[in-house]
């Protein structure tokens, strides 16, 4: 029996803090039951309503650095004073199921994923304006003003690396942005289909 098979896609979303990537990931997961989120490990404390193993794997800095020494991370970075990384074992578990994998990570982590998986889809999401980004950061109330300023100071280097992404999208409207990303994923799925003969 001849069957057309879709290869699992690795879709990496990056954005400045407050750019909306986490909300977009959540909406994509809700709309696409066959998508899975790659959950990062981090040394930062959980925010309100964040759960270990659901939003992040929350571990100590000592444990994180031990995992780095043992080569357990596909990629890892220090961002805003905290470590973040993608565990090889967790990603392998998802890939073996054949599901499309979503990554919610920073620009450096995204580019490292691309090195290991050249066919991964890198999507940079930028806010419509600096004023809107500031408004979003203040609205979520998870950082004080000095922390917000640190995040804003990182914008130039994040934008400079966006040129290496496959797509650069302005998040003017959340629903439209999600639909645009779904279109991108569908396009790549069609391109990456392959035929297998199940009768052999």
* 169 in any annotated domain: yes
Quick check: is 57 in a domain? no
CATH for 7: 3.40.50.300
Give a yes or no: residue 27 inside a domain.
yes
Determine what percent of the chain is predicted with pLDDT higher than 70: 90
Distance CA 116, CA 163 (A): 19
Is 52 domain-assigned?
A: no
Tell me: pLDDT of 75 over 50.
yes
**Structure confidence at residue 6 (pLDDT):** 62
143 against 4, higher pLDDT: 143
Residue-wise pLDDT for 107-160, tens only, equals 999 999 999 999 999 999 999 888 888 787 777 666 667 777 777 888 889 999
Q: Is residue 23 part of a domain?
A: yes
**Rounded Cα gap, residues 121 and 9, in angstroms:** 8
Do the domain assignments include residue 62? no
Does 68 map to a domain? no
pLDDT digits (tens, 9 = 90+) for 122-131: 999 999 888 8
Predicted confidence (pLDDT) per residue in 81-94, tens digit: 899 999 999 999 99
Residue with tokens 């270990």: 52
d(CA 27, CA 35): 11
Domain span at 127: 2-38+99-197
- Assess contact for 128 and 172: CB atoms under 8 A: yes
- Say what the pTM is: 0.84
26-40 pLDDT, tens per residue? 999 999 999 999 999
Q: In the chain, how many domains are there? A: 1
36 closest CA partner among 76, 77, 96: 96
For residue 80, tell me if it sits in a domain: no
Query: How high is the pLDDT of residue 60?
Result: 97
pLDDT above 90 as % of the chain: 67
Q: Does residue 38 contact residue 86 with C-beta atoms inside 8 Å? A: yes
Q: Is the pLDDT of residue 200 over 90?
A: no
CA 99 to mean position of chain CA atoms: 15
pLDDT of residue 91: 94
């Amino acid at each position: 029996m001849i069957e057309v098979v879709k290869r699992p896609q690795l879709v990496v979303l990056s954005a400045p803090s407050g750019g909306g990537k986490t909300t977009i990931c959540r909406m994509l997961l809700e709309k696409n039951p066959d998508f899975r989120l790659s959950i990062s490990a981090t040394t930062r404390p959980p925010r309100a309503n964040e759960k270990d193993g659901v939003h992040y794997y929350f571990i100590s800095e000592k444990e994180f650095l031990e995992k780095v020494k043992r080569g357990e991370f596909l990629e890892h970075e220090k961002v805003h004073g905290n470590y973040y990384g993608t565990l090889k074992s967790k990603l392998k578990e998802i890939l073996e199921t054949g599901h499309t994998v979503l990554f919610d990570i920073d620009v450096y982590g995204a580019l490292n994923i691309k090195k290991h998986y050249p066919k991964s889809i890198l999507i940079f999401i930028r806010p419509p304006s600096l004023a809107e980004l500031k408004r979003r950061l203040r609205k979520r109330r998870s950082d004080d003003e000095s922390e917000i300023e640190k995040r804003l100071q990182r914008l130039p280097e994040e934008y400079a690396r966006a040129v290496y992404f496959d797509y650069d999208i302005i998040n003017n409207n959340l629903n439209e942005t999600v639909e645009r990303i779904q279109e991108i994923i569908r396009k790549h799925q069609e391109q990456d289909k392959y035929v297998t003969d199940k009768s052999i």
